[in-house]
Chain A
Amino acid sequence: MARALSIVGIGALLPVVGLSFWEIAARAQWTQSQILVPPSAVFATIVEFWQSGELLSDIVASTCRVLIGFLLGGSLGFVFGITAGLDRRVEAIFAPTFHVLRQIPVIAWLPLLVLLAGFGEGFKILTISIAAFFPIGLNTLDGVKNVSSKYIEVGRALCFSRRQIIARIIWPAALPAIMNGARLSLSRSWMLVVAAELVASTTGIGHRMDWGRQLFQIDVVFMGVLVTGCMGLLIDVAVRGLARRASRWTEQA
C-alpha cells in the first residue's frame, strides 16, 4: 500500500510541477492570461460548475452516449471477430473490407456522418459505435485465430465436440485478447464522444467545451480537457482490472 502510494506520488510529481509553473507564468503575466488561464481559475470554474450541477449533467450525458455506442458497436465488433475468427468463409468475405475500413480514423467519418445522420443523438451514437467496433473486432478476430493449434489438438484428442472446443478451449484462450480489445474500444469511445459533441451537440462535455470556446471562456474549455482526461483514465482503470482478471493465467506462463 505504501509502495502504491509512493508510485502515485512519483506520478503526480510532473503534473504538480507543470501546474505550478503554469500558475506562476499566468500570474506573472508572462502569457496572455485570457488564453492560458491559471489553474486556480480553472479549478474555481470546476467547483462552480460542479455545484451548479451542470458538470455532472455533462458527464452523465457523455457517459450515456459512450455506454450505448460502446454496447452497440462493441457487440457488433465482438460478433464479427468471433464469427470471422471461427469460420474462414466469413473471414474471406468480411475481413478484407474490415481491414481497409479500420485504417480510416473515425474523426474522418464525422463530416459524412453529420450529413447522414444529422445533428441529433443518432449521429453521436453512430460515431461512438464505429469507434468501438474496430478495436474489439480486430482483437477478437486475432485472438480467436491465434489460439494455439496445440491446445485445439488437446481438445480433439479428448474427443471434444466442436462446441466444446469453442467453449472450453478457444474462448478461454482468446479471452485476454478480447478483453484488451474491449478496453481499447471503450477508451476510443470516450475520445470520440467528446469529438462528436464538439461537432454537433447541445449537451455533454464536448458541447460544454465548444460553448466555452464560443463565449471565449477558456477556463471552461480547460475544465473540459481536464474532465475528459480524468474520466478516460477512470474508465480505463476500471476495465483494466477486469481485463487482468480474465488474463491472469497468461502472466506467469
Chain B
Amino acid sequence: MNVRIDDRLLKNDSEVRRVGVAISVDHVSRAFDINGRPLAVLHDISLDITAGEFVVIVGASGCGKSTLLRLIAGLDMPNAGAVFVGGSKVVGPGLDRGIVFQDHRLLPWLTAEENVAAALIARGVPKAERLDVARRYLALVGLTGFETAYPSQLSGGMAQRAAIGRALANDPDVLLLDEPLGALDALTRLKLQNEIVRLSAKNPKTIVLVTHDIEEAVFFADRIVVMDAKPGRIRRIIPVDLPRPRDRSSPGFVALRSAVLDEFIDETH
C-alpha cells in the first residue's frame, strides 16, 4: 500500500541506533494453544529499542502487541527467538522493568502507599523505608493526600496514577505500559498523557507503550511500530520527529496522525 508520510518528519534510523540498545527483540515467535490447535500470535518479530527511547506499538486487536510487551516484561516466554534487556536475555520478570497494565491491578486489600511500597519488597527494603519511597512516588504522580486510601476509594485515573507510581518505585530502566489509559474517560486520558510526558521528561527512561489510540501514539512516540495481525508481525516503523512538547493541533501533528491512521486502515484489509 502507498504510504503517505511526509519525509521531512522522518528521523534517520541509524542516528537513533548510535546510542546503546536497551531492548532487543530478536526473531521472536509466540504461539498459543487454542483448543488443541496452535495459534501463531507473533511471527518472527525483531525490534531494537535504544536507551531513553519512547516506542509506541499500535495495531488492531489480536495483533499480539500486548503479547510482545509481556514477552519484554518476562511475564510470558517466546517459543522461538529471544528478548534482551540491557544486554541480558530475559528469562523472567525483573525489577529493571516496571509494568503498568490496562486495569490498574492495585491490590484491593492494600492502601495506595502500601501498593506502591509492595514494589520494593523483593529487594528486601525495610518497611518504613518502603513506605517513605512510596509516598515520594505518590507525590510524583500527584496523589499526595491519598496515601492511605484504598483502591476502591480512588477514581480510575487516580488508581492508574498509583499503578504508574508502583511501576516507577524501583526506578527501573525500562517502563512498559500496556494500554494504561485505555479504560479511562477522554478527559482523564488527556490529563494522564500530559502527566506521562512530564514524568518521562523529568526522569528519562526507555518506554514501550502499547495502544490502539493513534493520537496517543503520535503524542508520545519517538517511533511508532505499526503491527499486522494473524500472525502478529511488524508492518512498518514510523519515526516521529515532531518537537516536544507536542501540540496536538499543529499541522505536523495532524499530518502525521492522519498518515499513521491511513497505515492503520490499510492494515485491516
Contact = CB atoms under 8 A, between A and B. Distances in A.
A64 interface: no
A5 interface: no
Contacts of B108: 249-250, 253
Contact of A249 (B75, B121, B152): B152
B64 interface: no
A252 B150 contact: yes
A141 to B, nearest CB: 20
A159 B107 contact: no
Given A151-B105, A153-B75, A169-B107, A158 B152 contact: no
Interface in A213-253: 249-250, 252-253
Contacts of B118: 158, 168
Contact of B150 (A153, A159, A249): A249
B157 interface: no
B214 to A, nearest CB: 27
* Chain A interface main SS type: helix
Nearest to B70: A153
**Which among A150, A159, A169 has the highest number of chain B CB atoms within 10 Å?**
A159
**Which among A157, A164, A168, A249 has the highest number of chain B CB atoms within 10 Å?**
A157
Interface string A161-191: 1001000110011000000000000000000
Given A153-B75, A156-B75, A253-B152, A172 B121 contact: no
B14 to A, nearest CB: 34
Contacts of A150: 101, 103, 105
B103 A156 contact: no
B83 to A, nearest CB: 15
Given A158-B118, A168-B121, A249 B109 contact: yes
Interface residues on A, range: 10 to 19
A150 B108 CA distance: 12
Contacts of A151: 105, 107
B122 A156 contact: no
B49 interface: no
A159 B124 CA distance: 11
A158 B122 contact: yes
A159 B94 contact: yes
A157 B99 contact: yes
A160 interface: yes
A154 B121 contact: no
Contacts of A157: 73, 75, 93, 99
Contact of B151 (A158, A164, A173, A253): A253
A60 to B, nearest CB: 37
B119 A158 contact: yes
B109 A173 contact: yes
A156 B153 CA distance: 25
Contacts of B119: 158
Interface string B99-114: 1010101011100000
26 contacts: A150-B103, A151-B105, A153-B105, A154-B105, A154-B107, A156-B92, A157-B73, A157-B99, A158-B121, A158-B122, A159-B94, A160-B121, A161-B122, A164-B121, A164-B122, A168-B118, A172-B107, A172-B109, A173-B109, A249-B109, A249-B150, A249-B152, A252-B150, A252-B152, A252-B153, A253-B152
Given A158-B122, A253-B152, 4 more contacts: A157-B93, A158-B95, A164-B121, A252-B153
Interface of A: 150-151, 153-154, 156-161, 164, 168-169, 172-173, 249-250, 252-253
Shortest beta-carbon contacts, A-B, top 7: A252-B152, A159-B122, A249-B109, A172-B109, A253-B152, A249-B108, A253-B108
